[in-house]
Structure 1
């Protein structure tokens, strides 16, 4: 896998992890204003990087969450378990 593609994928995974962690934290600390601001910042960054990745390399997920170019790109390689990290 191309280094730029892998770097972008790692950044997406990093931001997804940050969002999940902050979401769990906010479940029990919903009035932490800084955590809400951080969550929103990471969420916007994540959405932008996912859009960038999908425009360059194809969809990251299926089932209506990401439009596909023609031909349908979801079936293109590599599959997630085929990526060498």
Structure 2
């Protein structure tokens, strides 16, 4: 019998791409805090934010919720009791 908690093959790569995009957002946030008039950096930030939203939505639809406290929806039945949780991988 297959392990019901086994992660799909693409899980780690999809999570890595999402985390890399979110890291870009952190770096651009720090840069824009000291360079608020840099239009190109702001365009990059907005583009990365849109990409992150799309990646996160696709990831959650395929693998389950990433964020708690109402920031991620859960399919039925409740998905937060499935392991591993995002911070465990």
Fold shared per TM-score above 0.5: yes
Say which one has the larger Rg: 2
User: What do you get for the CA RMSD once the two structures are aligned?
Assistant: 0.9
Structure 1 partner of 2:52: 46
Query: Post-superposition shift, 1:13?
Result: 0.4
The answer to whether structure 1 residue 5 and structure 2 residue 11 are counterparts is yes
Cα distance between partner residues in 2 of 1:46 and 1:5: 16
Q: Using the TM superposition, give the Cα deviation of residue 72 of structure 1 relative to its aligned residue in structure 2, in angstroms.
A: 1.0
Cα distance in 2, alignment partners of residues 7 and 77 from structure 1: 18
- Residue matched to 1:55: 61
Q: What number of residue pairs does the alignment pair up?
A: 82
Q: Which residues of structure 2 form unaligned runs of 5+? A: 1-6
Unmatched runs of 5 consecutive residues or more in structure 1: none
Residue 33 of structure 1 is matched in structure 2 by 39
Q: Comparing both structures, which one devotes a greater share of its residues to helix?
A: 1
